[in-house]
Amino acid sequence: MTIYGTPNAKRPANDHSLYGRPPVEPPDEPGGRAPDPGGSSAASRNPTTGTVYGRPASFVRRTTAIPTSAAEAAAPSARPSVTPPPPVPPPASPPPMSPRPASPPAAATPQKDHRGGTLYGSPETRLIPRVVEETALIPRAALLVEPEAESDVRPGRHASRGSLRWLNEKMVRTSATTLGEIMITFGLVLLLFAAYEIWGKAAIIADHQRDLDAQLNEEWQQADPTVSPGAAEQPPQAPPPGWAIARMHIPRLHNQWVVVEGVATADIKYAPGHYPESAGPGQIGNFSVAGHRSPAIFWDLDKMRVGDAIVLETRTSYYIYRVTANKIVKPSAVEVVAPVPGDPGATATEPMLTITTCNPKWDNYERLIVHAKMERRQPRANGPPPELGG
């Protein structure tokens, strides 16, 4: 016998359970029925909750035991009866709903919720947003947005801006690095140029001065019977440009140079030059000399002071001059090399010496002038004067 769809589940004669499983005795509950000592009922219903002990109520189609014999079916009163559950009262009907209030008049002041939205003025409908009024309350300045600002909120805009910023920073760094390298290279070139001007040219001038000194010594070794030892010497008649004619010693500057004839650019490239129209060494007039303001020649001529000695050395004599003036003039002031310095029309009455050079250093828009007056003459045969350590 199959009970309620359970396959091959046959109930024995003395088994009153459902689905072929042992019965479950319900607990004693107030208002419920007592347990069946005879086991006539395998599952009973709780009169209050409707639960069938042993199985959920949804799985049980009948709440009474199935009779197993004709005698049991004929005498149903032998089993105690089950008290039916009290009727369940019907649920109370909900209170009648009040009619929906009418829309507020247009003059009513709208309310706002916690998010700032504009709502109807009625408390019952305050959760309904009024989209039209929200749009109307947007400030006009907020609507006037530039296209660039609106494009900032597009997807990927921040990444693009970051890439552009990185590219700009890279370009700036590259430009700064390149500019720095160019400036460093330019600085090195300037340093090399300055080193050449100070030490390179000085070495070249010193080498040419040694050649001129050798030329001057060779010339002086040739005796000239027409010149008396005590007379002032004249330079050779029409000496060639660049020809060595004398030595100039300046103890203040701790230096000496061979003076050549001529003041052209080629003549004074490596030595001071003598103005051809001016007087000779020891003669009445103005022995004028011009030279570059280079570190190897007249670089420190501005250090000369009044009273300093300037010594001219020729083949027969030393001529000692004393500085009388040190001044700066314009390049057009040619009167400084006149026979009487500063007075071109005057007649010279004493031997003078003038040195001219560029001013300031590294430029030539002015001229530095040093004037000196001859103090005495000393024969070369007597040795160097005291001004030269003799």
Give CA–CA dist 262/267, Å, rounded: 6
Which residues are paired to 258 by β-bridges?
Answer: 247
- State the Cα–Cα distance between residues 285 and 277, nearest whole angstrom: 11
At which residue do the structure tokens 């408390």 appear? 123
The total of other beta-carbon atoms located within 10 Å of residue 42's CB is 23
Identify residue 274 by its one-letter amino acid code.
H
- Residue with the bigger pLDDT between 338 and 229: it is 338
Q: What is the DSSP letter of 198?
A: I
Give the per-residue pLDDT at 347: 92
Residue 28 vs residue 303, higher pLDDT: 303
| Mean pLDDT computed over 259-269 | 93
Lowest average pLDDT, out of 67-71, 202-206, 280-284, goes to 67-71
pLDDT digits (tens, 9 = 90+) for 271-324: 999 999 999 999 999 999 999 998 899 999 999 999 999 999 999 999 999 999
- Of 46-50, 328-332, 384-388, which gets the smallest average pLDDT? 46-50
pLDDT value at residue 358: 94
174-390: CATH architecture: Beta Barrel (2.40)
Position 269 scores a pLDDT of 92
End-to-end CA distance of the chain: 159
Strand intervals (E) in the chain: 111-112, 118-119, 244-250, 255-261, 273-274, 285-290, 309-313, 317-329, 351-359, 366-379
Amino acid 132: pLDDT = 46
pLDDT tens per residue, range 161-200: 667 777 788 888 888 899 999 999 999 998 888 888 778 8
Closest among 98, 65, 68 to 79, alpha carbons compared: 65
Residue with the bigger pLDDT between 277 and 64: it is 277
What are the start-end ranges of the E strands in 58-139?
111-112, 118-119
Q: What are the residues whose beta carbons fall under 8 Å from the beta carbon of 59, sequence distance 6 or more?
A: 52
Note the pLDDT of residue 169. Answer: 84
Contacts of 184 (CB under 8 A, 6+ apart): none
How far apart CA 242 and CA 212 sit, in angstroms, is 9
Q: Tell me where in the chain the CATH 2.40.260.10 domain(s) lie.
A: 174-390
Quick one: residue 341, left, alpha or beta (phi over 0 = left, psi -120 to 50 = alpha)? beta
Q: Tell me which residue of 369, 355, 352 sits closest to 290, measured CA to CA.
A: 355
Whether residue 210 is predicted with pLDDT greater than 90 in this model: the reply is yes
Q: Which two tokens stand for residue 234?
A: 């004249």
DSSP string, 347-384: PP-SEEEEEEEEESTT--SEEEEEEEEEEEEEEGGG--
Residues 92-122 have pLDDT tens digits of 666 666 666 666 555 555 555 555 554 444 4
- Output the furthest CA–CA distance in the chain (Å, rounded): 189
**pLDDT digit string (tens) for 345-357?**
899 999 999 999 9
